[in-house]
Amino acid sequence: MPNTFDPTKDIGDLNGKTILVTGGNAGIGEATVRALAMHKPACLYLCARNTTTAHTVVESIRETNPEAKIEILQLDLSSFDSIKECAAEFNAKSDRLDILVLNAGVGVTAPKLTNEGYESQFGINHLGHSLLTQLILPKMLETHRREPGADVRITVTSSMGANRFAPSSGLALGDMHDANAFKSSMTRYGHSKLANILFARKLAQLYPSITTTSTHPGLVKSAIWGRMDGPAWQSWLFAPLVYLTGVTTAEGAKTQLWAATANGVETGKYYEPIGKATYGSENANSQELTDELWEWTRKEVAKHGGPGWPPA
């Protein structure tokens, strides 16, 4: 696997491909959109809760790449209604989907519930993306059916937090209607990132025509750490750590860009920078937890109008 990856040189021609990136208005999502736009996809859908900043990003890209075909979709992953509207708009506009980058997320935030009453980090990072994927996955499967050689991919942004901060006991799905689950914002974050890895593994198992991976971007100098909530020692520890050792958002985007475009990517794997397949924790590789999460997620999404997972 590569130790280096230069998106400018190493991403091939994306002509004809349709790509959707969540959280593409800031951080590593913005860096991902900028890098992909350089390679001329047929259309790049930038999903963002804040469409004002999304428009600013697109205008900036078009200053040097005026032909870039980018569509902005409003998406609030804490609201199932917003997710359904976003998916419906995308499905109405596009006849294909080649690359799905589930990048958006929150981390180490104050206790809160989503609109549907789920712990917010888990609800946004996992459940929201699960519903979005369920709603637009038929488009990806149809893309592959029409073109059996089509290289269709999903990559999910996870974190080393899945291995370091998630509860050692595994999943605590019964507590996901409690904003204060685990009593620690860092543990809630790790729990949601563990779900990202397990979700990607199950997608890879059920949909072999799609290359599905999860990735850790590295410790990135991103605005996500500026919204940290928790005991003062966490800020005292992480602020200098991020400042001294964190990488830029452009560098942090490289692993998911690699997973979305490079040769040699293996479905179902979890990758750390850059393109290094890592075993991770025992929980992150547990088939029992993978199946438990999938079934729980299926039932919860169905309660709120999810259509169910399409046949492979």
Catalytic residue numbers read 159, 189, 193
Q: How far apart are CA 102 and CA 226, in angstroms?
A: 21
Contact 38, 61 (CB under 8 A): no
List b or e across 18-32, with b for residues whose CB sees 16 or more CB atoms inside 10 angstroms: bbbbbbbbbbbbbbb
State the virtual CA torsion across 96, 99, 104, 105 in degrees, nearest 10.
Answer: 120
Q: How far apart are CA 224 and CA 203, in angstroms?
A: 27
SS3 content of the chain, % helix, strand, coil (to 5): 50, 15, 40
Burial class (CB in 10 A: 0-12, 13-18, 19+), 152: buried
> Does the N-terminal peptide bond of residue 224 adopt cis geometry, omega within 30 degrees of 0?
no
